[in-house]
Structure 1
Amino acid sequence: MKLPIFIADAFTAKAFRGNPAAVCLLENELDEDLHQKIAREMNLSETAFIRRLHSTDNFTQKNVNSTLTFVTLSGELKARKAENGIILDLPLYPTQPQDLREVEKLIKTAIGDTRVQDIRYSPDTRKLLVRLSDTYDRSFLENLKVSTQNLPQIESSGKVKGLILTLKGQPGGQTKVFDFYSRYFAPWVGVAEDPVTGSAHTVLSSYWSQQLGKKEMYAFQCSPRGGELEISLRSDGRVDIRGGAAIVVEGTLTA
């Protein structure tokens, strides 16, 4: 069996940056075991298997502003091609204040004595958002050593499935001004640190829009690979997240 496969770097215009993901095009369904074997072979945090649900579905849709709908295990994902990237149409998830006493050990284990300014929780996504002190700058977040190995043992109730560290943007000193920075960790699902995370920004967009009083924002995820996201909150309670994409591998998988 031969399957078309690609590796694309998302949320970047440059190869070897952003979030790498494998994309495998299918004509027919595969059994779950083969899905898992291919994903392990790709050894990336995301491997997507795309199959036409209707004969008229077009894998090679090239029209700008045309929308493709993907039916996933997490629900529908809509994406459209724009002149300067790809726009994901995503839900916007609110956060609620989180009592420090309930998560203090988790935070202490992850970032030690790093000063924390705010803690929020997203019940819809089970993500814990930790805002670092405004006295820190981008380089501090980029260089921060985060310990994630023991977090699943410390928080094993199922309440938390992802840890977001975020920091308010600071103008000056960078080639581009960003409204906020972040890093994302999900050892509960086997991801020590995700390079760039669209789902985390469904929470971050809600939080920082309230904090900054803005509907249009630029964000940077400070993983070693790094990724840029352009955020636009919509009046219908959803968010458009725009990013570039670079295809770095195109070939055939033999299984």
Structure 2
Amino acid sequence: MAAIYQVDSFTKLPFSGNPAGVYISDVEQDYETCIKIAREMNLSETAFPVRTTDDNHYRLRWFTPTTEVPMCGHATLATSWVHFTELGIDGDIYYETLSGQLKVSRIGDDLKMDFPSELPFRIDLDQSIGEALDCNGMAYYSTGTRKLLFEISDRKKLEGLHPDFSKMEKLSVGVPLRGLIVTCKGDGEFDFFSRYFAPWVGINEDPVTGSAHTVLGPFWSERLGKDKLRAYQASQRGGEIRLEILDGNRISIIGNAVTVIRGQMLV
């Protein structure tokens, strides 16, 4: 028997932001069991933290209902939220992950995550991505995250996108692929907007995506000449993210969360 939580990340309000499962156990589960639990939760990601021998140090893995993923921002935020608010942990928390060590700090009601970041480079896929989205834009690629970024002209077009996911999955891009970020410049309150699609890992659209902002942050920082940015992911649920560009290809991803389910999993 283990504790299970559902947390809405990058929001202060239940039923918005991005929901993640957090499975709390002293025992690390095998791959197949993690997949079964993630499938049972039926969320974009479920997190599996296990304490190591050091105080406030954990091994952390993330699973979609179909596969393990190397980085997940909103489920990391959800996990640290559970550790801080449900389990009463004090001080910074360190997670050992497939993306290296990630640190999370609590500052009042805010959680600040220290993640690796990567500036994407231009790639010749404007036409094929544009056909899948029925929208013109400019394509970029992030090698570390295996994410495409597609810049379009305005928020109205972004919010009106209705992607053909079957066509998207068949994209011949010539590079490993985990997701497609679509983004446009902001309107004053926010520096930029985005949406995120990942049918390749079983998620047609993710509501609010921390890992996508490890690419979006340096992309818009370079264009806008700003080291601190406010972002809004314009999914149906929606969510706000604040970013701070750090030295050494690192980025602070700052947000809030709220617990919506507390329970026990009888496995």
TM-score, with normalisation over the residues of structure 1? Answer: 0.87
Report the Cα distance in structure 1 between the residues aligned to 2:15 and 2:241, rounded to whole angstroms: 16
Distance 1:146 1:186, change over 3 A: same
Cα deviation for residue 230 of structure 1 reads 0.5
Q: Secondary structure in 1 aligned to 2:211?
A: helix
Report the Cα distance in structure 2 between the residues aligned to 1:140 and 1:151, rounded to whole angstroms: 18
1:149-168 map, 5 Å: 149-155=166-172, 157-168=174-185
Q: Secondary structure in 2 aligned to 1:210?
A: helix
Q: Which protein, 1 or 2, shows the higher relative CO under an 8 Å CA cutoff with sep ≥ 6?
A: 1
CA RMSD of aligned residues (A): 1.8
Corresponding residue for 2:40? 41
Distance 1:169 1:242, change over 3 A: same
| Runs of at least 5 residues in structure 2 that lack an aligned partner in the other structure | 58-82
1:88 to 2:113 alignment: yes
Following TM superposition, where does structure 1 have runs of at least 4 consecutive aligned residues deviating by more than 3 angstroms? Answer: 55-59
1:142 to 2:159 alignment: yes
Check whether the contact 1:70–1:78 (CA below 8 A) recurs between aligned residues.
yes
Deviations 1:213-246 (A, max 9, x none): 0000100001111010001111333110101100
Check whether the contact 1:94–1:203 (CA below 8 A) recurs between aligned residues.
yes
1:181 to 2:164 alignment: no
Cα deviation for residue 151 of structure 1 reads 1.9
Deviations 1:9-45 (A, max 9, x none): 1101111111100001111122222211111100001
Cα deviation for residue 212 of structure 1 reads 0.3
| Runs of at least 5 residues in structure 1 that lack an aligned partner in the other structure | 172-176
Check whether the contact 1:106–1:155 (CA below 8 A) recurs between aligned residues.
no
Distance 1:9 1:197, change over 3 A: same
What is the identity, as a one-letter code, of the residue corresponding to 2:107?
A
Deviations 1:21-77 (A, max 9, x none): 0001111122222211111100001101111112744843444xx311111233322
Corresponding residue for 2:236? 224
Deviations 1:61-97 (A, max 9, x none): 444xx31111123332221111132111011101111
Q: Which has the larger radius of gyration?
A: 1
What is the identity, as a one-letter code, of the residue corresponding to 2:171?
I
Report the Cα distance in structure 2 between the residues aligned to 1:254 and 1:157, rounded to whole angstroms: 44
Corresponding residue for 1:115? 136
Q: Secondary structure in 2 aligned to 1:150?
A: helix
1:73 to 2:95 alignment: no
Corresponding residue for 2:129? 106
Q: Secondary structure in 2 aligned to 1:198?
A: coil
Distance 1:203 1:57, change over 3 A: closer
Distance 1:57 1:78, change over 3 A: closer
What is the identity, as a one-letter code, of the residue corresponding to 2:136?
R
Distance 1:178 1:248, change over 3 A: same
What is the identity, as a one-letter code, of the residue corresponding to 2:194?
S
Q: Secondary structure in 2 aligned to 1:149?
A: helix
Q: Secondary structure in 1 aligned to 2:170?
A: helix
Give the fraction of aligned pairs with identical amino acids, expressed as a percent. 40
What is the identity, as a one-letter code, of the residue corresponding to 2:113?
L
Report the Cα distance in structure 2 between the residues aligned to 1:209 and 1:56, rounded to whole angstroms: 35
Report the Cα distance in structure 2 between the residues aligned to 1:99 and 1:156, rounded to whole angstroms: 9
